[in-house]
Structure 1
Amino acid sequence: MWKRQQNKQPPFKAGKNGAPSGGISKRKKVNPQRFKIQALGKIWTPPPAVKEKILNDILKIPYKAPENMQNKWDKNNKKWKKEPRKEPGHLLKQGIKFSSQEEFTSHLKSEKKNKNVDKKRKLEDVSSPPPHTGALNPAFNDSMQDTPNGKKEEDISTTDSVHHRLKKDKLKELLASTPVNKPIEIEPLEPPVPIKLTIKEKRKRKEARKKTIFDVAKERLSTARFRYLNELMYTQTSAQSFKMFQEDSSLFEAYMEGYKKAAGAWTKDPLDVIIAYVKKTPKTTVVADMGCGDARLARSVKRTVHSFDIASTAPGVVQCDMSNVPLPNESVDLVVFCLALMGTNIKDFLLEASRILKEEGIIKIAELESRIPKNDLDFIKSFGRFGFKLKWKNTKERFFVYYDFIKEREPNSRNNLPHIELKPCLYKKR
């Protein structure tokens, strides 16, 4: 337990004739927190570490340090800190050597001062050079000559009034012998001349930026045309769409133009995800791209890719119905449906994919999130009736979902297969 200190009032100091000399003497300052700590110590014995922290932080009383340590008050942090006690011969243990007695005394003086403060040297005599312990410079030498009396006398003809050991001639020779690198002359850059446009030119630029009524109407018409064609392809069979685009090929061109504008606003194109997947497959992989569009998948990978669509707008694209493609049975390792399950006869697409896929081949689907129900268990089970098993899915992406199904077997009978329907993309009437 900590002992309570008794603070007794000091006696009166007697002055002349026994009178008090100015009253009570000054009492020693006592930290009021000490009494709280002492009262607490009667009911609780703190560990040594806690006791040391209380003494340092609250009472600022130096804790009794071990014999090999010493206490020092840190003015910056305002607390006591421990430092190793400097024993006799500690400089020799550190391996510090001094060339002269003056250097040793200056080192002792610098230790007493704060090491973090930069010391400024004040020279009483400007003509006296600072002491140095480096190697001799050829520009300097002892210009003091021996006299008959044994004392050295300064040679005034070869010295300077300030630096009495400097030989000017020798220094000039050294400076003349050292090569001087001429600085590279860089021509200053001329400030750009501001282009002053006339009022007519400014008006022309503003008019060029503005879209005419004809351009705005054309864009709206193309957007409306794309939406109309898109709704038709979702709400009719693939055979009807194939016949429609066969009769008028310009319709598919208008559809593709609107599709590219819509795809430009997407944060992530699902076809890029499929391209990255195909690049990781073996080089012998044979791919069937259903609803290929402009056949970007075939141009992006070095694999055998068969591109099919209901209209051909790019070289290498075979125009056909997705429910009947010109490929032999079990000739493909991978079938891709990237936003291509369009139509009311998705059942026929899956049967055709099962026909051309090899055993353990993969069918990869990328579709709009809005078309797949939130509870996709029924959607996955319906693929199982066609002989496919879910291998991987990703429904955490924004706007799009991805499914990989592996072919395990052939479908048992076409009559008992379920009818698969996905939500069509319908637009608000304006």
Structure 2
Amino acid sequence: MSLFEVAGWAVKAAPIREGPQQVSKKRKRPSSHSQLEVVEVNVEKLMAKMGNSNPAESSIQKLERKKRQKTNRQKQVKGSEEEIKDRPTTPPRKAIKRKIETKTKTKQTVDSASVLPLKSKPTSEGPQENPNAKMTALQKSMKNSLDGARFRLLNENLYKTDSYQAHELMRNDPKVFEEYHNGFRHQVVSWPINPVEHFASMFASYSQKTLIADLGCGDAALAKNLSSKGISVISFDLVSDNEYVVDADICDKIPLPGSEESGKPKSAGAGQVVDVVVCALSLMGVNWPNCIREAWRILKPGGELHIAEVTSRFTDIEQFQNLLGSIGFRLKSKNDKISSHFILFEFAKIPRASKTQKEWSGLLSKGSILKPCEYKRR
């Protein structure tokens, strides 16, 4: 230390060599002075923060925020109300349920209307008139001519084809069968006598035990006539009426019991139950001789075969009689005086000798002995 000090003359002490400072590893507690400084700093920050915020201004901001929120809520509520007004007043589930109930009621109404009986219709309509009733005399005449022409053309086709094709035609279209027999009934009205009516009158005096097979019966007029007299008639034709007529091809196989001749020199077969066979204008088709063969098979020995056939079909009556004799029938009577439209034949079944298949083929191929009824072209 100098004895006296002069300004500007201060001489620095000799430099002290700095060595590595040793840091004490002992934990030192902060002094109370440093703690006070930290507290003062925190208090100053808090006061600065509070000083910057204006309480009045903060309250105004809160009020404005609440006002904005309220306005937004009112807008949302108003929008929701408008949306609800646009929607249907009926809740969706109720609307759907009501729609389903309406459809169900409508369907029930339609269904109930569809099953109403015919008598529930208004009586003002009245019975339906026959379309032919409004036709003039000329129109009726023309219609009858067309119907007659259709019948004659159909009749010719049935005569010129075999029974197999005719049977198939009738099965595929039963209306053809109905149209044919309607035309047939219209045609025989002009005849002096109907052969079916003639047979019905003749058989009325037969025993009630008599069993008659009507081959090619049409609408079974013979059976309907004789049933009231207790005489049994089995009727066969190409189409059944589900009452009197049995569906069968009479030129193929008649569904009745009976056998042909055996190996004996001559035989009448066995198992037959039919007493009388009738063919009233029914020998149609080119294979008609097989119908005669079937008639022999189902007839009892000595049984009767009655035939009525259109006069114009015969070119040689003797050939016709000889053919039936070869099949096993003997002519009992012939009547061509009763009507100019048809000839009546009565045959009786007799035993016959056994024939080979070749002999049968020769006999059954003689269908041309009867001419077909041809349609006259004008």
Q: Answer yes or no: is 1:425 the counterpart of 2:376.
A: no
Counterpart secondary structure, 1:370: helix
Q: Secondary structure at the residue paired with 2:354?
A: coil
Correspondence for 2:359 = 416
Structure 2, gaps ≥5 residues long: 1-132, 259-271
Contact 1:236–1:344 (8 Å) recurs in 2: yes
Structure with higher helix content: 2
| Structural mapping, 1:393-412, within 5 Å | 393-397=334-338, 398-410=340-352, 412=354
Choose the corresponding residue for 2:244, options 310, 316, 329: 316
- Residue 208 of structure 1 deviates from its aligned partner by 6.0
Counterpart code for 1:310: L
C-alpha offsets along residues 45-84 of structure 1, whole Å, 9 cap, x if unaligned?
xxxxxxxxxxxxxxxxxxxxxxxxxxxxxxxxxxxxxxxx
Unaligned runs of 5+ in 1: 1-206
1:248-272 deviations in Å (ceiling 9; x for gaps): 0111111111111101111111111
Counterpart of 1:21? none
Aligned to 1:292: 217
Q: Structure 2 residue aligned with 1:221, among 110, 123, 146?
A: 146
State whether residues 331 and 357 of structure 1, in contact with CA within 8 Å, keep that contact through their aligned partners in structure 2: yes
Paired position in structure 2 for 1:392: 333
Give the CA deviation at 1:223: 1.8
Q: CA deviation at 1:228?
A: 1.5
SS in 1 for 2:137: coil
SS in 1 for 2:345: strand
Which one-letter code corresponds to 2:296 in the other structure? S
Distance 2:273 2:148 in 1: 39
Q: Which amino acid aligns with 1:420?
A: G
User: What is the CA–CA distance in structure 1 between the aligned matches of 2:242 and 2:181, rounded to whole Å?
Assistant: 11
**Equivalent residue letter for 1:416:** E
Deviation at 1:211, TM superposition (A): 3.1
The two structures have a TM-score, normalised by structure 1, of 0.49
Q: How does 1:69-80 map to 2 (within 5 A)?
A: none
Distance 1:212 1:314 in 2: 38
Higher relative contact order, chain-length normalized (CA < 8 Å, sep 6+): 2
Hey, what does 1:253 align to over in structure 2? 178
Which of 356, 367, 370 does residue 312 from structure 2 map onto? Answer: 370
Pairs aligned (count) = 222
- Aligned counterparts of 2:195 and 2:276: Cα–Cα separation in 1: 16
| Cα distance in 2, alignment partners of residues 428 and 292 from structure 1 | 26
- Code of the aligned partner of 2:192: T
Secondary structure of the equivalent of 2:337? coil
**Counterparts of 1:411 and 1:243, CA distance in 2:** 34
Cα distance per residue 1:13-35 (max 9 Å; x no partner):
xxxxxxxxxxxxxxxxxxxxxxx
What one-letter code is carried by the residue in structure 2 that aligns with 1:225?
R
Q: Aligned partners of 2:220, 2:283: CA distance in 1, in Å? A: 17
Aligned AA for 2:326? R
Instruction: State which structure, 1 or 2, has the greater radius of gyration over its C-alpha atoms.
Output: 2
* In structure 2, C-alpha distance between the alignment counterparts of 1:270 and 1:253, rounded to whole Å: 20
Matches within 5 A, 1:192-271: 210-211=136-137, 213=139, 215-271=140-196
Distance, in Å, in 2 between the alignment partners of 1:286 and 1:224 is: 37
The CA distance in 2 between the partners of 1:220 and 1:396, in whole Å, is 29
Distance 1:209 1:251, change over 3 A: closer
**Cα separation, 2, equivalents of 1:313 and 1:410:** 36
Question: Counterpart in 2 of 1:349?
Answer: 291
Task: Supply the distance in 1 between the matched residues of 2:333 and 2:145 (Cα, whole angstroms).
Answer: 40
Alpha-carbon separation, structure 2, partners of 1:273 and 1:401: 12
- Among all aligned residue pairs of Structure 1 and Structure 2, give the percentage whose two residues are the same amino acid: 36
SS at match of 2:285: coil
Q: Quote the Cα distance in structure 1 between the aligned partners of 2:278 and 2:256.
A: 15
Q: Hey, what does 1:147 align to over in structure 2?
A: none
Secondary structure, counterpart of 1:336 in structure 2: strand
Over the residues paired in the alignment, what is the CA RMSD in angstroms?
A: 1.9
The answer for the alignment partner of 2:56 in structure 1 is none
Describe the superposition over 1:333-373 as per-residue Cα deviations: whole angstroms up to 9, x where unpaired: 11100000011012210111111111001111001111123
| Deviation sequence 1:117-154 (CA, Å, 0-9, x none) | xxxxxxxxxxxxxxxxxxxxxxxxxxxxxxxxxxxxxx
What's the CA shift string for 1:381-410, capped at 9, x where partnerless?
A: 111111111111112232211111111114
Question: Is this contact kept in 2: 1:368–1:400, CA < 8 A?
Answer: yes
Tell me which amino acid in the other structure corresponds to 1:289: D
Q: What TM-score results when the alignment is normalised by the length of structure 2?
A: 0.56
For residues 345 and 250 of structure 1, what CA distance do their matches in structure 2 show?
Answer: 24
Counterpart amino acid of 1:254?
Answer: E
Structure 2: distance between partners of 1:424 and 1:264: 21
* Aligned residue type for 1:424: P
Q: Distance in 2 between matches of 1:405 and 1:411?
A: 18
Secondary structure (helix, strand or coil) at the match of 2:301 reads strand
> Secondary structure in 2 aligned to 1:283?
coil
Deviations 1:85-139 (A, max 9, x none): xxxxxxxxxxxxxxxxxxxxxxxxxxxxxxxxxxxxxxxxxxxxxxxxxxxxxxx
1:325 maps to amino acid:
I
Q: 1:223–1:410: structure 2 CA closer, same or farther, 3 Å change rule? A: same
